[in-house]
Amino acid sequence: MAMAGGIVVLFLFAVSLLAPWLSPYDPTAIDLRNVLAPPSGDHWFGTDQLGRDVLSRMIWGAGISLKVGFVATGIAVLIGTILGAVAGYYGRWVDTVIMRFVDIMLCFPTFFLILAVIAVLEPSIWNIMIIIGVTGWMGITRLVRADFISLRERDFVLAARAIGAGDLRIIFIHILPNAMASVLVAATLGVAGAILTESALSFLGIGVQPPTPSWGNILTAGKDNIDIAWWLSLYPGLAILITVLGYNLLGEGIRDSFDPRLR
């Protein structure tokens, strides 16, 4: 199953990189003579309410989804790793302050917090990536903190202190590499969550803005024409389902490979 997830992820990377050559049409080109045309030999996935080719928009939308997923997850991993490392290494009042802040952040429904921030800011793709990242670091903080608490009293850390290594060197050179397994798993699963969140925001009309293609805003057109244009809902919905499932399977496989109890 992990291999299947990896194949899906690699396929999406290939599609996003080769989008200029794979796309049969310009994803933003309007053709009012083919409005809501069903799937055919000319338009394999049909057209939308403006006559734009759905297959071309989905191919270009794959790159948007991957970009949002990786940038947002990268921001979350950076924030969560730093805060978790500091909390787990220093402990005491530092740990208490950071973890109470994490608890406060977890009290807010993440999706509604994102909606509130977007209501103030302009709904651009960069704002979407940053907002998803800065609201998704709490779980990674807890994982890194737990690893640091178990590692900070190990012999190799005591030896590093004995030879005069500073706190920053111990944290980033000695302990953090041994805690990266759980971070890698969380990041893989986080990409799937970020893609799903971006699709939901675009579906609501406050994510990636037209004419930029996104799986979520293709679904919005599908919602508006569900009775006469089923293909606008089916194909992007399947793309989101398969993508999220692929990342989740890959994350589960990575977690199993790092679990010594399964060897």
- Measure the CA–CA gap between 26 and 41, rounded to whole angstroms: 17
172 neighbors 188 (Cβ within 8 angstroms): no
Query: What pLDDT does residue 260 have?
Result: 56
Residue 79 reports pLDDT greater than 90: yes
CA dihedral 226, 231, 234, 237 (to 10 degrees): -90
175 neighbors 189 (Cβ within 8 angstroms): no
Could you read off the pLDDT of 49-64 as tens digits, one per residue? 888 899 999 999 888 8
Element (H, E) at 105: helix 92-107
Residue 230 reports pLDDT greater than 90: no
HSE-CB at 129 with a 13 A cutoff on CA atoms is: 15
Neighbours of 208 (CB within 10 A): 23
The pair of three-digit structure tokens given for residue 6, joined into one six-digit string: 């990896």
- Per-residue DSSP letter, 30: -
- Measure the CA–CA gap between 204 and 196, rounded to whole angstroms: 13
Report the DSSP beta bridge partners of residue 53: 47
Burial (CB count within 10 angstroms: exposed 0-12, middle 13-18, buried 19+), residue 241: exposed
Residue 261 reports pLDDT greater than 60: no
- Cis amide bond preceding 211, omega within 30: yes
Under CATH, to which class is 2-15+52-258 assigned? mainly alpha
Model pTM? 0.85
Burial (CB count within 10 angstroms: exposed 0-12, middle 13-18, buried 19+), residue 136: buried
Q: Angle, nearest 10°, between helix axes 92-107 and 138-151? A: 160
Could you read off the pLDDT of 117-164 as tens digits, one per residue? 777 777 778 888 888 888 888 989 999 998 888 888 788 888 888 887
Q: How far is CA 257 from the centre of its chain?
A: 22
